[in-house]
Structure 1
């Protein structure tokens, strides 16, 4: 029950309320059950006790005398009606307290899944960029959706097991008070059944662990495949993706089958063995030990119900074992991301009033040098364009400028101050970033521009859309700025999506605008319009662009060509060679 202890430590007062309610529910059930023996003696009458030798003595057992003395002490006569009312009252109070306990279990389970999802999401967003790059999207999706839900369900199963355990102890206690010898034999028999069935719990645990691994693999492959459906179908190769997904799905199906069969075997096997032991006990009690019928009946009820609840405890524990691997896997992901937390630099304020300077900067990916001793200047208010073949480090320069990556050698200066001394969060608040692959939310144009920032108004979004030369087609739409763009912006053309992304970058009035191949999807007319916008923005903000488009290269104040592990400033007369 290590998992439950972890939950109890994480949610102390909720767990305390749950346990207290369940204990009170069990106590109420015990009070109702204690009236059962006097009730049977009253119902059967003296003539019934005379049928078997010693039955009269059995009807005056220590347990019954304690119950009758307690009732006499509080002024309740042991009549048929009073006994029935006590049983009814016990059931009523048990139901009330059980409702409170189960409600608390449900509320806590919902909070568990919510907290786990938020915790993982927050540590992932705070992690280093290098760590994030190595995490499959499908793995994170599976953790947030499936693993968090399975962990929450495991908590519910554990709490339900505790509920059944309390009820089992109540019934076993009543039986023990009647005949401790018979109860010890019954408990030993129950322990044998539980022990014989334990291997099925282990099978379920292994099946659950395999299910966790396979779900992670399946979700990772599924996410990658869905992002590649169009080219796969275009080349008639979708069957290759189907083979990969079918293999993972079939292996997952086998794990689920093991889980199902072990659960079914546990349920049917327990019922058969428990029933056999109860029948044997009744025979021995009446035929061999001549125990009175009322006592035997209460023992059967007490031990039978105790067996039933002990069996349910094991079944719930089996379900907990099936899902606990999801919780530990999710916890491992949280801890791994937390250990890779990004350090947000110093406390110096970022302004970008003069320049960004790279001084002999070197950077390596996995021991592979991207560039060495790179030096370049990006003047405030200027348009600087980076060109060069793929793999020469253009995007790496952007990531270093933003502070997502740190140089392995040299230093980056912001207005003459080393970037590691600057408050990176505050610095990034001054940056507008437009990636090559535009991702729009399935929401309105307004929400895609403002991202729901309460500090931004409709007027701010309109201003940004006009600056990105997008207001013309937006205003022509039936719902204007409130038009829903569809999944991933599917209702818009590539150029329209990219201009909305540019507006998103401009809406916060950034000091630095980064264009990472941001005009690559635009037609000639749109490209020229965006470039005119960039020229108009020069002097108002600093622009760093990665582009091979003629207009952005010609409009640039400086053009650096990336090659041979460095950046070379290009002369004006050489620009025509870069844009052929």
Structure 2
């Protein structure tokens, strides 16, 4: 119960005090309307009775607010007006709470996305991306609905307090009996609420595991289909589907048990209350009628409380899952701050840099220099440590020892975001968005014009093939770029890296899966870009050694400059031959 109050009070993007104010005013209006009903019933029934002092004060206030005379007609109109006011206020409060579902879900997603992009790279290496995707999509949506259920629960609690206050004025004994009855109902159904809460947690976990597995399957759909592995792979979903099926059935059973159990308990309580009111306490018929109305409304409130509490218990696991994921990502946040004024006029230096994955050295005592405006090639077999060296330069990892400097300034004193804004990167694991070529190159940067994108395509030697497509820049790349050839995907990725006019261009095994002719074309393209950009090429292919200004052999985590680079032959720098 307290968890729902906390969700209502702490959810970002909401104004709980506005909702509470409307609900309290609605409850007051309802008390005023019920109070005005008693003297009217006394007059109609011909019964004599002395109204309790508290009733008289409330009735006078009701007549003063509505401007009605102390007649049957006046009392009736006052009742109707107060009920209309109560309905409007309650409607405003819950409508606002309903609209807040979008605000709550959106704020939770924004917090998650910000935390995700600020998280250390190591976190994504060690955790499954599908779990984050599920939290952002499924859990954030359910968290918004958890807020709505919490708001409805708070509304029912405030209504219940109002009815209790009125019952106290009408009959203290009846009010005490009502409190006892309500407590019995709540306690009696508490077990089913706990069952719903546990089922909700299981459903959240099972859904997260299922979505994560689906994401993994989609990332590997081509080899799964190509090797006819679909049947055994589908079998992997079995346990998750069964767990999800079981949790949903338990929720249905607990929901029905709660509803039917409430009906039985309430029927028993109504019979006992009527017997006590008329047979034992001898309350007047008019008072019994009014109190009966309050009892009926109170029973309705208790039922709604149970319903909202159960639904909230089912959904609160998702709300807490989103916050737990945000907190987990925040604990893994990259360092913030550092100098913003980044230059790359001289070059990048690795000075005895060592880095280890889980106590296993990956890069050890590396010393190398990447000169500005030149092509530096890191060459070596797979697993030698080439990509790790670049990841260290990108700030994705931090050295265990040694120092990396940019123009003689330590990297750990520079702003990572500012440094990365000067980098163009073409990764080894190339994947394009299922979107237009324009969107794939811009990556959401609305400041880039089509002219900027076309210039990047020209630099990447991709302008001609894009212009040959029927829809040009609006052509869809397909899932993971599946509508393009390997060479075309590489050139779009290169245009994506170049569109921001970076100081440093990193090419990680960009030709590893290409034929020699396409590789030679991309190497020639990189040669043309040298001088304008500082280029680092990671490769295990020999073609790149022909264009390198600096060539390092990387093996077993060590880097050695193995030979003087071949002289670059640029068409623009060729000397004409004279007779």
Same fold by TM (over 0.5)?
A: yes
3-state SS of 1:439 partner: coil
Aligned pair partner of 2:252 in 252, 257, 260: 260
Q: Which residue does 1:242 correspond to in 2?
A: 234
Distance 1:421 1:284 in 2: 79
Aligned pair partner of 1:386 in 370, 373, 378: 378
Structure 1, 178-187 or 280-289: larger mean CA deviation: 280-289
Distance 1:199 1:505 in 2: 58
Deviation, 1:322, is 1.6
The 5 A counterparts of 1:66-85 are: 66=57, 76-85=68-77
Deviation, 1:81, is 2.5
Query: Does residue 471 of structure 1 match 2:452?
Result: no
Q: Which residue does 2:275 correspond to in 1?
A: 283
Q: Which residue does 1:343 correspond to in 2?
A: 335
Deviation, 1:345, is 6.1
Residue deviations 1:23-73 (CA, integer Å, cap 9, x gap): 1111111111122222323443x2xx4xxxxxx34x756566556655777
The 5 A counterparts of 1:151-550 are: 151-344=143-336, 346-347=338-339, 349-550=341-542
Distance 2:186 2:23 in 1: 23
Deviation, 1:325, is 1.9
Deviation, 1:472, is 0.9
Distance 1:72 1:232 in 2: 76
Structure 1, 76-85 or 360-369: larger mean CA deviation: 76-85
Aligned pair partner of 2:93 in 78, 101, 105: 101
Q: Does the C-alpha gap of structure 1 residues 73 and 529 become closer, same or farther in structure 2, counting only changes over 3 Å?
A: closer
Deviation, 1:292, is 2.2
The question of whether the paired residues in 2 share the 8 Å contact of 1:172 and 1:303 is answered with no
Deviation, 1:529, is 2.2
The question of whether the paired residues in 2 share the 8 Å contact of 1:363 and 1:369 is answered with yes
Distance 1:32 1:547 in 2: 81
Q: Does the C-alpha gap of structure 1 residues 322 and 199 become closer, same or farther in structure 2, counting only changes over 3 Å?
A: same
Deviation, 1:122, is 0.6
Distance 2:72 2:498 in 1: 83
Distance 2:103 2:29 in 1: 29
Deviation, 1:504, is 0.6
Query: Does residue 559 of structure 1 match 2:559?
Result: no
The question of whether the paired residues in 2 share the 8 Å contact of 1:494 and 1:522 is answered with yes
- Tell me the TM-score normalized by structure 1: 0.92
The question of whether the paired residues in 2 share the 8 Å contact of 1:71 and 1:78 is answered with no
3-state SS of 2:425 partner: strand
The question of whether the paired residues in 1 share the 8 Å contact of 2:548 and 2:566 is answered with no
Give structure 1 stretches of 5+ with no counterpart.
Answer: 50-55, 576-580
The question of whether the paired residues in 1 share the 8 Å contact of 2:185 and 2:262 is answered with yes
Q: Does the C-alpha gap of structure 1 residues 18 and 300 become closer, same or farther in structure 2, counting only changes over 3 Å?
A: same
Distance 1:345 1:14 in 2: 33
The question of whether the paired residues in 1 share the 8 Å contact of 2:210 and 2:240 is answered with yes
Structure 1, 465-474 or 291-300: larger mean CA deviation: 291-300
3-state SS of 2:403 partner: strand
3-state SS of 1:546 partner: strand
Distance 1:186 1:6 in 2: 28
3-state SS of 1:362 partner: strand
Distance 1:272 1:292 in 2: 27
Residue deviations 1:437-478 (CA, integer Å, cap 9, x gap): 222223322222122323322111111101111111111122
Deviation, 1:574, is 11
Residue deviations 1:206-227 (CA, integer Å, cap 9, x gap): 1122222222222222211221
Q: Does the C-alpha gap of structure 1 residues 13 and 260 become closer, same or farther in structure 2, counting only changes over 3 Å?
A: closer
Q: Does the C-alpha gap of structure 1 residues 4 and 277 become closer, same or farther in structure 2, counting only changes over 3 Å?
A: closer
Distance 1:467 1:574 in 2: 23
Distance 1:323 1:168 in 2: 23
Q: Which residue does 1:35 correspond to in 2?
A: 36
Deviation, 1:320, is 1.5
Structure 1, 168-177 or 506-515: larger mean CA deviation: 168-177
Residue deviations 1:226-282 (CA, integer Å, cap 9, x gap): 211221222222222211212111111111221221121111111221122112221
3-state SS of 1:35 partner: helix
Residue deviations 1:374-410 (CA, integer Å, cap 9, x gap): 2222221221222222221111011011111111111
Q: Does the C-alpha gap of structure 1 residues 73 and 474 become closer, same or farther in structure 2, counting only changes over 3 Å?
A: closer
Distance 1:72 1:443 in 2: 66
3-state SS of 1:407 partner: coil
Q: Does the C-alpha gap of structure 1 residues 509 and 80 become closer, same or farther in structure 2, counting only changes over 3 Å?
A: same
- Tell me the TM-score normalized by structure 2: 0.92
Structure 1, 539-548 or 337-346: larger mean CA deviation: 337-346
Count of equivalent residues: 565
Q: CA RMSD in A?
A: 2.4
Deviation, 1:480, is 1.6
The question of whether the paired residues in 2 share the 8 Å contact of 1:383 and 1:555 is answered with yes
Deviation, 1:486, is 2.9
Distance 1:410 1:209 in 2: 46
Deviation, 1:314, is 2.5
Distance 1:486 1:228 in 2: 15
Residue deviations 1:317-362 (CA, integer Å, cap 9, x gap): 2222222222222212211211222114631633221222222211
